[in-house]
Structure 1
Amino acid sequence: MGDRMCLGIPGEIIEIRQDRPDLATVAVSGVKRAINIGLLADDPPLPGDWVLIHVGFALSKIDEDEAAAAMEFLEDIGQSYVDEVAALRESDID
């Protein structure tokens, strides 16, 4: 896979889909996307919660301070973050 780093990026839950409770709309750096929250079924996120996302899946819930720290780190490392946001844009689930 080369030296490309796989990152989780923080996103804020905007809404949970009524028709598909395993899907949620999140906002990541101004981009809104549907992601799968099924991995968090034991402690499902609610609107306003922050989650760590990788290729369309929420991996864990995080708090707003953790989200801000993660965003700062990701912005500092530059291109890997840009690549991950691009991957998120391509991973919209419907």
Structure 2
Amino acid sequence: MENLREQLTELLDEAELEWLKPHIQKDAVILVSPDLDLLDVGVAIASDNTQSVQHWIGEQLLVKPSPEILARWNSNPSQKFQAMIIQPYVLVKE
């Protein structure tokens, strides 16, 4: 598990909205709550920890960006996101 965490740490990056747009169009972007650590979420998804992931989804701590969120993002195209690709998803945190 520690090796997975180290591998995913290397995948953490900063992304601009323009880079995320193709993934948004594919419905592959998942917005991670500010209350969660992006790396913890990535490890849970990559290691198939369905209990944690289901809990976060149920608590709406992991969501698909709503039209309102997308409109807000589009109104600030220079906004940066913390991002991580965990196939087939792109996890982002504002």
TM-score when normalising by structure 2: 0.27
TM-score when normalising by structure 1: 0.27
Larger fraction in helix: 2
Larger fraction in strand: 1
